[in-house]
Amino acid sequence: MRRAVITGGAGFIGSHLCRALVGRGWDVVAVDNLMTGRRSNLDDLLPDGRVEFLEHDVSRGVPVDGPVDAVLHFASPASPPDYLEHPLATLDVGSNGTRHALDLAKAHAARFILASTSEVYGDPLEHPQAESYWGNVNPIGPRSVYDESKRFAESLTFAYRRVYDMNVGVVRIFNTYGPGLRPGDGRVVSNFLVQALDGKPLTVYGDGSQTRSFCYVDDEVRGILALLESDHAGPVNIGNPDEFTVKELADTVLDVTGSSSEIVYEPLPTDDPVRRRPDITRARELLGWSPAVSLREGLARTSAWYQQERERG
């Protein structure tokens, strides 16, 4: 039996990771302060005891007893409205939180996985983005609380690797969506789906020509677990290289949901990246990973989940 600690385990990706790890025979401790996560994300997992929930702020420590074979550090606000509302807590969890999670892994000689992000590339001047690209981040803009905190977390992880010879892996996650993404999360896929299902206008920021590459959560989790179960340090991009403009996403959401909502245009947030698409050569070659779920299929599954949630009240 192997035992993993997942910080941010009650969040969107964290709770999917808990489920997938249990499916692969792991026991899991989910540590989360519920800042943006929900305990109910783990409702199906807590009763049989394979997942233990610890409500705690990991910026203050990760007080887990017992054996630990892996630490997956996923705690951090991730949606722009969330990290803009909690700038200092975001910097804190990327710095002190990462340090505490690394210390736990070090104490147990456990494998450590850091959830990093495509945001380390900022508003990229190279396209698509390979891991060799160093990024273009405004270090003092509002988004920097997230971008720089993740860049610092990567730096700290690699410093621990060099100083303590730790077994670490860094995954750079690109825009991931799917069931479990809370309706009020504020990211574009949940906003558009909920707006379409409510018959409300879809809010496109800017002129909608900026691009993103959206990865379905099952694909993302499969990639993260492939990295966990390897001994590669990375960083490794895990994302779907199919690139869409935000306007194309809005049109696809309307089509998939059959909604007749209109599209309205609102101001573009400061430093909103213009283009984003992962180069996944490294993930293919090192991990044998590539995504399988198309945007249209993933949106249909996510839309069905929002409808079910509504019926359940």
Question: Residue 152 is encoded by which pair of tokens?
Answer: 């610092």
Coil/strand/helix, residue 122: strand
Among 4, 5, 6, 10, contact with ligand NAD (rule: CB under 6 A): 10
Stretch that binds ligand NAD, among 43-51, 68-76, 203-211, 222-230 (CB under 6 A): 68-76
Q: How far is the CB of 106 from ligand NAD (least distance, A)?
A: 19
Q: Which of 146, 160, 216, 306 is flagged as catalytic? A: 146
Among 74, 112, 160, 289, contact with ligand NAD (rule: CB under 6 A): 74
Coil/strand/helix, residue 129: strand
Please report whether residue 57 would count as binding ligand NAD according to CB under 6 A. Answer: yes
Give me the 80-109 binding string for ligand NAD, x by CB under 6 A, dash otherwise.
-------------x---x------------
- Residue closer to ligand UDP by CB (options 265, 305) is 265
Stretch that binds ligand NAD, among 5-13, 43-51, 124-132, 278-286 (CB under 6 A): 5-13
Q: How far is the CB of 108 from ligand NAD (least distance, A)?
A: 19
Question: Given the structure tokens 């996985």, which residue do they identify?
Answer: 113
Clarify whether 177 is annotated catalytic: no
For strands 211-213 and 243-245, give the pairing.
antiparallel
- Residue closer to ligand UDP by CB (options 133, 205) is 205
Report the alpha-carbon distance of residue 216 to residue 137 in Å, rounded: 26
- Residue closer to ligand UDP by CB (options 232, 301) is 301
Sign of CA dihedral 291, 296, 302, 304: negative
How far is CA 85 from each of CA 17, 92, 143, 186, 228, rounded to the nearest angstrom? 26, 14, 11, 12, 31
Residues binding ligand UDP (CB under 6 A): 80, 175, 187-188, 191, 203-205, 210, 212, 246, 268-269, 272
DSSP letter at 239 equals S
Coil/strand/helix, residue 246: helix
DSSP string for 20-72: HHHHTTEEEEEEE--SS--GGGGTTTSTTSSEEEEE--GGG-----S--SEEE
Q: Which residues are catalytic?
A: 146
- Contact footprint for ligand NAD (CB under 6 A): 7-8, 10-14, 32-37, 57-59, 74-78, 93, 97, 115, 117, 173, 175-176
